[in-house]
Amino acid sequence: MKIILTKDSLGNYLLIFFSTILYVLSFPKVSWSFLAWVAFFPLFKALDNKPARKRFRLGYLAGILSSLGIFYWVTHAMHYYGGLDSITSFSILFLMVLYLAIYFGVFAWLWGLFPPQGLFSLIWVPSIWVGLEFLRSHLLTGFPWELLGHSQYNFLPVIQLSEFTGVYGISFLIILVNQSLFRVFGCDRAFQGWSRKWKETALTLSLLTFALIFGFWSLSNQKQKDQQAPTLNVAVIQGNIDQSLKWNPVFQEETIRIYQDLTLKILTKAPELVVWPETAAPFYFLNENHLTPLLFQLAQETRAHLLFGSPAVAYRQGKIQFYNRAYLLSSKGRLSYYDKVHLVPFGEYVPLRRLLPFVGKMVQAIGDFSPGPGSYGLSHPKGKIGVLICFETIFPELSRAFKQEGCRILVNMTNDAWYGRTSAPYQHLSMLTFRAVENRVWIARAANTGFSAFIDSSGRIVKEVPLFQRGAIYANIPLRGEKTFYTRYGDISVVFCGIIFLVGIIFWVSKRKGGKGHERRNYSS
């Protein structure tokens, strides 16, 4: 990407830099969510009156800077725990950033196909963004980590809309507000009268007002529904096991002792379900003669169901396969399990291993996992439990599948020790709040080093154990069985955005073929 510094281009680059600063700060750790509502204003100002190629280059630059600001922690996980050298770790991050930046570049290019006037182009711009987010969430196994709407996890009234639209509806609203602000304060006033600008902005204000009114009403309504539902007393244990010791065979017995002690201490709360983190039992549970009986004994002592993570090995399809598994052990010794479906690329399996052999070191400690057969709930006497292992939380279709099956509680077990004290543990927790709102279900989260937490049906983080501390929390969780609009119909709002996008493209192509220039100045050239 060739960069030529002139007075005009320097101003554009400063606008891009300012825009990405606002964008990154709206996400965790900082979590200044209000900044997202103005973060795109400088970007739009830089893109204004630019030809198509220039728009793409500026958008691509914004995507690179934004992705570096949000995903910098990838190098930490790869270097300190994956065993890769610094150069290789950063190279992989940079390749990832170059890929993610494409979505920004395409958005910037499409942004200028229509001049900033008229109601259609007003809703067309956020529809583009939503479509690109959806594409990013599904292309190449999908990576919907920190979509724009996720920045609002702590703005509870506005995220209640996710019950109908998922996180994409929040992203749509944010881009809509940014676009409206740009039209009112950023465009050439001679291009469009103030009366017309305010008429278009009225649509944005109406939608935002509706979202907030619904949000405040919903917060009160969900609280009443929670009070009317049957409950399950759940305890969550955070062992805070150092990642450098976690897979050391010498430390396995000490690990189980730590979790055992924390579990026994919380028995005064009479838990009916005790949750340990992902791979809390760092051995092959069904193949271990020494430590396996300790867990059966603990479940019997607690008189509760024990839900814990442990790797598993099986001989299937003519070869040995490894699984990242969650076991549910009853006090009577009955055992059921769920195998993780959506594995972490370069963390639990290596795609294109023959082409990227150096990345294989990242999974040497825990093996190269195979995906489970599908999403299915685990049975508890009080209702089904849907288990999300690690970053399965960022894929809303998995949570929907559990709720559609009849699960009344979701459990996330994870090990975020890989990320240290970077932004990643904060980001991971923040995205989980949307799964609660989308399906109106409580979520219990057990994380090795944090954050372990309880999230209510409104997306509120009710309790949590701080990062890198050992502890246990409990909550009397409402078990709600109703299915929301989003649970039933999923991302139908994205279909609406897709239709708007296609109509816009057809209209733009027809105008170009007809030789009728409809764009202001350089808007598509």
CA angle 152, 129, 96 (to 5 degrees): 85
Query: Could you report the per-residue pLDDT of 133-169, keeping only the tens digit for each?
Result: 999 999 988 999 999 999 999 999 999 999 999 999 9
240 assigned to some structural domain: yes
Same domain, 13 and 100: yes
pLDDT of 515 > 90? The answer is: no
Same domain, 193 and 250: no
Same domain, 275 and 300: yes
Same domain, 466 and 497: no
pLDDT of 520 > 60? The answer is: no
Q: Which of 184-193, 245-254, 452-461 has the highest mean pLDDT?
A: 452-461
Q: Which residue has the higher pLDDT, 67 or 315?
A: 67
Residue 59: other Cβ atoms inside 10 A: 27
523 assigned to some structural domain: no
2 assigned to some structural domain: no
109 assigned to some structural domain: yes
| Structure confidence at residue 350 (pLDDT) | 65
- Give me the mean pLDDT over the 191-220 stretch: 86
What is the domain-level CATH number for residue 369?
3.60.110.10
Q: Which residue has the higher pLDDT, 103 or 112?
A: 103
Q: Among the listed ranges 1-5, 60-64, 493-497, which one has the minimum average pLDDT value?
A: 1-5
pLDDT of 188 > 90? The answer is: no
Same domain, 262 and 118: no
The CA distance from 378 to 386, in Å, is: 6
Question: If pLDDT is split at 50, 70 and 90, which confidence band does 179 have?
Answer: very high
| Structure confidence at residue 1 (pLDDT) | 52
Written as one letter, the residue type at 168 is Y
522 assigned to some structural domain: no
Question: If pLDDT is split at 50, 70 and 90, which confidence band does 173 have?
Answer: very high
Same domain, 177 and 294: no
Q: Which residue has the higher pLDDT, 319 or 456?
A: 456
382 assigned to some structural domain: yes
The CA distance from 465 to 356, in Å, is: 38
- Give me the mean pLDDT over the 214-221 stretch: 97
Q: Residue 84 in contact with residue 358, Cβ under 8 Å?
A: yes
| Structure confidence at residue 85 (pLDDT) | 82
| Structure confidence at residue 314 (pLDDT) | 87
Domain of residue 16 covers 7-224+491-513
Q: Hey, what long-range contacts does 400-406 have (CB within 8 A, 24 or more apart)?
A: 400/438, 400/439, 400/486, 400/487, 400/490, 401/375, 402/375, 402/377, 403/439, 403/441, 403/483, 403/484, 403/487, 404/483, 404/487, 404/488, 405/375, 405/376, 405/377, 406/377, 406/481
The CA distance from 294 to 454, in Å, is: 27
Q: Which residue has the higher pLDDT, 348 or 87?
A: 87
Greatest Cα pair distance in the chain: 80
127 assigned to some structural domain: yes
Same domain, 20 and 135: yes
Same domain, 464 and 503: no
pLDDT of 79 > 90? The answer is: no
The CA distance from 438 to 432, in Å, is: 10
Same domain, 199 and 251: no
Query: Could you report the per-residue pLDDT of 463-501, keeping only the tens digit for each?
Result: 999 999 999 999 999 999 999 999 999 999 999 999 999
519 assigned to some structural domain: no
pLDDT of 518 > 80? The answer is: no
pTM of the prediction?
0.92
Q: Active-site residues: which are they?
A: 278, 340, 390
Structural domain count of the chain: 2
* Residue 169 in tokens: 């509806």
Same domain, 199 and 257: no
Question: If pLDDT is split at 50, 70 and 90, which confidence band does 368 have?
Answer: confident
Same domain, 347 and 470: yes
Average pLDDT in the chain = 90
The CA distance from 315 to 320, in Å, is: 4
Same domain, 371 and 282: yes
Query: Could you report the per-residue pLDDT of 4-21, keeping only the tens digit for each?
Result: 567 678 899 999 999 999
The CA distance from 296 to 315, in Å, is: 24
